[in-house]
Amino acid sequence: ILAMAFVPPGSPLTSLGPFSRSWEFTADDGKHAVWSGSSPIASSPDQKLLVAQFGIGGNLDVWDLMSGRKLTTLSAHNMSVSTVSFSPDGRLLVTTGQESPPTGNFAGGNQGNEWGMKVWDVATWKPRISISFLRVGAPCAAFSPDGRQVAVEKSWETVELLDADNGASLGVLTATDPQPQSHQFSSRNLAFNANGTLLFQGAQNGVRVWKLAPR
């Protein structure tokens, strides 16, 4: 299982094939449901929408969990998808994915690829932000708790903060490691704390903690 997302119990949409489906369970506070899949998936904060990659490639399907109907298909990235996540207020969706085959050797002799990050307006399903960059390994992205910023891991040593509405750069966080990074982490390798003053990033020898300027 690569990804999981909570969904409403009793939804008519229960499966997208043998490797992507929902599971219902009962806990002390009642019935719950969780969607699991071998490809990136995300549910909206109100649990009305499910965004899922089905099969291979860079497309994402958007499903209405209340009716079980597919609403649209996003041509998110050219080759694959590595990150799918809604903003906490549900207005925006961030995706990262591979755009091209390996382009050359990077640190440690690893082959780098062109990757992309897009922020989508959920009301229109049109991209507000679209950037591309070269790196080794799949990138990730995460929204701040207020949904106003998105952090993008452009390399193991570089994270950029962007305005989630217009893509303006809010700063670049750079680390210097004694050895070239060649590790691989998950698509959830970035996380803000509850009030958005700290950003955590998994690193080769531990966890980096970035202190962010107040906005």
pLDDT over threshold 60, residue 63: yes
Instruction: With cut-offs at 50, 70 and 90, classify the pLDDT of residue 202.
Output: confident
Of 192 and 18, the one with more pLDDT: 192
Reduced 3-state DSSP string for 98-137: ECCCCCEECHHHCEEEEEEEEEEECCCCEEEEEEEEEECC
| Per-residue pLDDT, 170 | 96
| Per-residue pLDDT, 112 | 73
Whether 113 contacts 82, CB under 8 Å = no
C-alpha pair distances (Å), 102 with each of 5, 15, 83, 110, 176 = 31, 33, 19, 9, 25
pLDDT over threshold 70, residue 104: no
| Per-residue pLDDT, 106 | 58
Q: Report the candidate in 23, 74, 81 with the shortest Cα–Cα distance to residue 55.
A: 81
Percent of the chain whose predicted confidence (pLDDT) is above 70: 90
Whether 35 contacts 24, CB under 8 Å = no
| Tens digit of each residue's pLDDT (9 = 90 or more) over 142-198 | 999 999 999 999 988 899 999 999 999 999 999 876 555 555 556 678 999 999 999
C-alpha pair distances (Å), 19 with each of 14, 73, 197 = 12, 19, 37
Q: Span 97-110, mean pLDDT?
A: 71
Q: Span 57-64, mean pLDDT?
A: 95
| Per-residue pLDDT, 70 | 96
| Per-residue pLDDT, 188 | 79
Listed range (21-30, 51-60, 184-193) with the worst mean pLDDT: 184-193
pLDDT over threshold 60, residue 108: no
pLDDT over threshold 80, residue 2: no
pLDDT over threshold 90, residue 138: no
pTM of the model: 0.90
Instruction: With cut-offs at 50, 70 and 90, classify the pLDDT of residue 54.
Output: confident
What's the CA gap between 112 and 181, in Å, rounded?
Answer: 13
Q: What is the mean pLDDT of the chain?
A: 89
